[in-house]
Amino acid sequence: MTTSTAHPSPFRASARVPLRIQLDNGYRSGPLDGGWWPQSRDLATECRDLVDHFPHLVGRPSRLLFSRPDWEDGGEPPARRLPVASGVVKVGSFPGDDTHEMVLVMSSRERLRLLVIPHDVPAETAHRLLLEAADERNTRTASELLADALSEVPPPAVDTTGEDDWEDEGGAQRRTAGSSGR
């Protein structure tokens, strides 16, 4: 996974981990240029983290276009211009966009399309999605990758311990062979 080693930002919270991003080899070959696994649904915090810790060898993002459903409050940015460690970055979205992408317009005017992986996806699934999104052989869109991966994630286990021990809602414990009701 590609991570940044930039100096800590004044905006960076202390409990955060390094930027979780995987980029392709730089050749335009598919619908995505990589994947990004933010740590929350807070658009401003995550955009700052992305810009402040984006790998310097790739360039500097100057504008971010996001998919609204991926963020709290429908992804309404607090402002169109977001302060970051290196200055200001423009932030915007397309109405009704549900592509699960973050488009980075770099200072060179190049556009990078990143799959946005929900922050609460299990780590194993997220790592697999990061690699698939950055694979130059990938032909699937961000929405397709995410839908396939999330359909494979098992639902949370339900604790049924002791559920079969109760006879009815009155709380009487079920009698087993050899036990008396006294």
Residues 112-169: tens digit of each pLDDT: 999 999 999 999 999 999 999 999 999 999 999 999 998 876 665 655 555 544 455 5
Provide the token pair at 22.
Answer: 């995987």
Q: Give the predicted TM-score (pTM) of the model.
A: 0.74
The predicted pLDDT at position 133 comes to 96
Cα–Cα distance measured from residue 141 to residue 129, given in angstroms and rounded to the nearest whole number: 12
For the segment 1-33, what is each residue's pLDDT rounded down to a tens digit? 444 434 344 444 458 899 999 999 877 778 999
* Confidence (pLDDT) at 16: 86
d(CA 77, CA 147): 25
The pLDDT value given to residue 6: 41
Q: Is 78 left (phi over 0), alpha (psi -120 to 50) or beta?
A: alpha
pLDDT of 137: 92
**Long-range contacts: 100-103, Cβ < 8 Å, 24+?**
100/67, 100/69, 100/70, 100/142, 100/143, 100/146, 101/32, 101/66, 101/67, 101/142, 102/36, 102/50, 102/64, 102/65, 102/66, 102/67, 102/70, 103/64, 103/65, 103/66
Q: Which of 104, 113, 114, 116 is nearest to 146 (CA)?
A: 116
Domain ranges of the chain: 21-151
Per-residue model confidence (pLDDT) at position 62: 96
pLDDT computed for residue 157 by the predictor:
61
Q: Which pLDDT score is estimated for 20?
A: 97
Q: 47-96, pLDDT tens digit by residue? A: 999 999 999 888 999 999 999 888 987 767 667 899 999 899 999 987 77
Q: 């021990």: which residue's tokens?
A: 165
